[in-house]
């Protein structure tokens, strides 16, 4: 049966999406299309060689490489990258990598208004959002502004073939979490919800196949397509309790980003189950499961994904502090956050036991 259509607002985001194997060879053409000639090429240290490959498409001396991108966009790194952009007289940024490289590209664009061409290599989805999170003085600040939305996204599936299986799984579940929260968002709309359901289904199908055939272009293409859809969901509607918890745990306890999402999403879905029945039905349909929360937990077991906060290095004694921080300035969520219930849910997630739907 079709979902009921209520009144809605949909803010479509401008984006040029170029998808296909080998499309990284078109970076120079895309830079030229924007009227630019002097890119600053941004990567992490581990992915510096990808920056060198892309630089070969340009005349000698017209590119500058910056290979120090780091998780959570630390301000000191951004300052050095801004200096590099200025010294090089860069007229655009090309970022190759996951959310860390793309986060740095966004931080540069925010201060310089330079256009961005980004080539994602994980499933985190930052490339599709007008959101930037930056860490300064030990605190992560997040803002939403169209200034940081990349002008061009090149999805070259070949860049994802090297993503280690464990990181692919965690990153894929991170993407699924964006789509799930989009389905019950306060500003959910029919277009984003379509993308969400399709994104979850594409990742549900591809992630188990990646475990067995991580180098399969066909499988990786389906996963990347799903990740694009899920990232677009993150960019077009507001996220709820799950993202709030992940921000608190990532920022305060320094837990790894994608893995924290992977552990928590079945538990938060169980927490929200009774408050968002239509969204739950769509999530279950996309997962081909009886219930949204069991489908997610079973998928995590099937993929051998991280399932406990303890395994990510969190101490049980941190749960009370986490609840306190989550209760300050909560995000909109179908079920009102309740300190007692949140504490119980986090203890379940800490232990890694199956989630329980809560009244």
Binding residues (CB under 6 A) for ligand NAD: these are 44, 46-47, 71-72, 97-101, 103, 121-122, 124-126, 129, 131-133, 159-160, 162-163, 167, 171, 234, 257-258
Smallest distance from ligand NAD to CB 335, Å: 24
User: How many other C-beta atoms lie within 10 A of the C-beta of residue 222?
Assistant: 20
Q: How far is it, in rounded angstroms, from Cα 60 to Cα 18?
A: 26
Pairing label, strands 16-19, 39-42: unpaired
The CB-of-127 to ligand NAD minimum distance in angstroms stands at: 8
CB of 159 to ligand NAD, least distance (A): 6
Nearer to ligand NAD, 25 or 320 (CB): 25
Rounded Cα distance, 153 and 175, in Å: 17
Which residues are within 8 A (CB) of 346 and not within 5 positions of it... i.e. 6 or more apart?
245, 267, 309, 319, 322, 323
Dig out the tokens for 1 from the structure: 């049966």
Closer residue to ligand NAD (CB): 63 or 129: 129
**Minimum CB–partner distance for residue 358 and ligand NAD (Å):** 27
**Beta strand 152-155 pairing with 139-144:** unpaired
Q: Which is nearer to ligand NAD, 124 or 358 (CB)?
A: 124
Which residue number is nearest to ligand NAD in terms of Cβ? Answer: 99
Report the greatest alpha carbon distance in the chain.
63
| 8 A C-beta contact, residue 160 and residue 22 | no
C-beta closer to ligand NAD: residue 46 or 76: 46
- Judged by beta carbon, residue 47 or residue 294, the one nearer ligand NAD is 47
Minimum CB distance to ligand NAD, residue 161 (Å) = 7
């Amino acid at each position: 049966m079709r979902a009921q259509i209520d009144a809605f607002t949909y803010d479509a985001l401008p984006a040029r999406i170029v998808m296909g194997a080998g499309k990284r060879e078109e970076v120079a053409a895309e830079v030229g299309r924007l009227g630019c000639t002097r890119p600053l090429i941004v990567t992490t240290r581990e992915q510096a060689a990808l920056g060198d490959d892309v630089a070969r498409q340009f005349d000698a001396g017209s590119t500058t490489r910056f290979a120090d991108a780091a998780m959570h966009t630390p301000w000191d790194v951004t300052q050095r990258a801004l200096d590099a952009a200025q010294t090089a007289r860069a007229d655009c940024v090309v970022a190759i990598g996951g959310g860390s490289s793309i986060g740095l590209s966004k931080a540069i664009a925010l201060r310089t208004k330079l256009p961005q061409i980004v080539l994602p290599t994980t499933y985190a989805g930052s490339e599709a959002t007008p959101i930037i999170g930056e860490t300064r003085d030990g605190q992560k600040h997040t803002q939403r502004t169209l200034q940081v939305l990349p002008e061009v996204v090149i999805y070259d599936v070949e860049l994802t073939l090297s993503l280690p299986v464990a990181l692919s799984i965690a990153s894929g579940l991170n993407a699924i979490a964006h789509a799930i929260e989009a389905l019950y968002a306060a500003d959910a709309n029919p277009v984003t919800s379509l993308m969400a359901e399709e994104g979850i289904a594409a990742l549900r199908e591809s992630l188990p196949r990646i475990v067995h055939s991580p180098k399969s272009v066909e499988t990786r293409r389906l996963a990347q397509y799903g990740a694009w859809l899920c990232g677009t969901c993150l960019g077009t509607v507001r996220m709820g309790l799950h993202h709030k918890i992940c921000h608190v745990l990532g920022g305060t306890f320094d837990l790894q980003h994608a893995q924290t999402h992977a552990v928590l999403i079945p538990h938060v879905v169980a927490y929200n189950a009774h408050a968002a029945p239509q969204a739950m039905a769509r999530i279950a349909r996309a997962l081909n499961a009886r219930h949204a929360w069991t489908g997610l937990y079973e998928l995590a077991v099937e993929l051998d994904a991280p399932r406990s906060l303890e395994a990510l290095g969190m101490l049980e004694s941190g749960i009370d502090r986490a609840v306190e921080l989550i209760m300050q300035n909560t995000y909109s969520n179908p079920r009102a956050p309740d300190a007692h219930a949140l504490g119980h849910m986090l203890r379940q997630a800490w232990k890694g036991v199956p989630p329980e739907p809560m009244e």
